[in-house]
Amino acid sequence: MMNHVQIQKIAALFIVFTSVVFCPNLHAGIDEKQAVLTMLNAAYGPYNPNVKGWVTEYEGLMYKFRILDKRKISTPKEERIYVLTGGDAKEDGDVGHPTSGLIGAFIGVENGSSIRVIASARALPFGGYGTAPDSFEFKQFGPDYYFGWIIDSGYTAQGQTSINKTILLPYGQKVSDRGNLTTCDQDFSVTVDKTATGVKVFPLIVKIKQEGKSGKVREKIVVVPFDEKAFKYRVPKELSSGC
């Protein structure tokens, strides 16, 4: 026969076992795949397996959206899901340069067994010829787990290529353009200065390499501060005029 101590051990094991079996989601966190589907289905309608994406209308044209970027970020308060989408015009025939591609951005947090969107942009015009840009960087822009994207785009006209780097950040319940950097120089990079202190949003360090008439390459560095009152980057004229 079992003694009193053995009975207590078996009872304790039974409690642990049943808690694992009947409460699987208690500490499981967000199901990333389902969370992404929930957010995008709400924004664009149901996922279409035939096109492996979402088909929706924007300003009279049909666009097919696909996922460009998705990731889970853990913070001391919550787990977040960040999703970036790209929408391409889905029209028969040629789509001209004036027709924009589209970018969508979504940030969600765990809400019980589901997901709650805290900031989003369903469709932002980017690019040309009906095609969304697919070059981007996901960065931390502030000390308090403040993340966003740098979107690369541009166009060529009359033999000159204009390069754009757009900063997409959450502000309130929206994700929007908080700074657009433009230059004609091919070697053009943007980094976030995370060494800055006493700021809510880090400044940007822009490096431009220019080739002079002599063929010698010169590097120029421009610091772009963030205007907290306007909640935008203060982009200098040399980085806002384009070609």
Q: State whether 223 and 166 are in the same domain.
A: yes
pLDDT of residue 123: 97
Is residue 10 domain-resident?
no
Q: What's the predicted TM-score (pTM) here?
A: 0.82
154 and 237 co-located in one domain: yes
- Residue 193, domain member (yes or no): yes
Please, what is the average pLDDT of the chain? 84
One domain for residues 122 and 155: no
Same domain for 225 and 239?
A: yes
DSSP per-residue string spanning 128-150: STT----EEEEEEEETTTEEEEE
Residues 87 and 140 reside in one and the same domain: no
Would you state the pLDDT for residue 27? 38
Do residues 106 and 160 both lie within one domain? Answer: no
Report the pLDDT value the prediction gives residue 94, as an integer from 0 to 100.
61
- 8 Å CB contact between 132 and 139: no
User: What was the pLDDT predicted at 240?
Assistant: 85
Q: Does 53 map to a domain?
A: yes
Same domain for 214 and 143?
A: yes
Question: 4 in a domain, yes or no?
Answer: no
Same domain, 148 and 213: yes
For residue 27, give both structure tokens.
Answer: 């500490």
Domain that holds residue 54: 25-133
**Does 20 map to a domain?**
no
The answer to whether the CB of 119 falls within 8 A of the CB of 110 is no
Condensed to tens digits (0 to 9), the pLDDT of residues 26-68 reads 335 668 899 999 999 999 999 999 999 999 999 989 999 999 9
Residue 109 lies in a domain: yes
What pLDDT is recorded for position 154?
Answer: 77
Same domain as 119, residue 50: yes
Domain boundary among 86, 108, 133: 133
| Helix H or strand E encompassing 69 | strand 61-74
pLDDT number for residue 29: 60
Say if 5 falls within a structural domain: no
Using the 3D structure, point to which of 98, 114, 133 is the last residue of a domain: 133
Cα 168 off chain centre by: 7
Same domain, 144 and 223: yes
Are 189 and 93 contained in the same domain?
A: no
Instruction: For residue 109, give every residue at least 6 positions away whose Cβ sits within 8 Å of its Cβ, in sequence order, or none.
Output: 78, 79, 80, 81, 115, 116, 118
Q: Give the chain's residues under pLDDT 50.
A: 1-2, 4-27
Residue 163 has what pLDDT?
Answer: 85
Task: Give the chain's domain count.
Answer: 2
Q: Residue 212: what pLDDT?
A: 66
| Residue after which a domain boundary falls, among 79, 98, 133 | 133
125 and 227 fall within a common domain: no
Looking at the domain assignment, is residue 7 inside a domain? Answer: no
Instruction: For residue range 125-142, list pLDDT tens digits in order.
Output: 998 888 999 999 999 999
Beta bridge partners of 183: 163
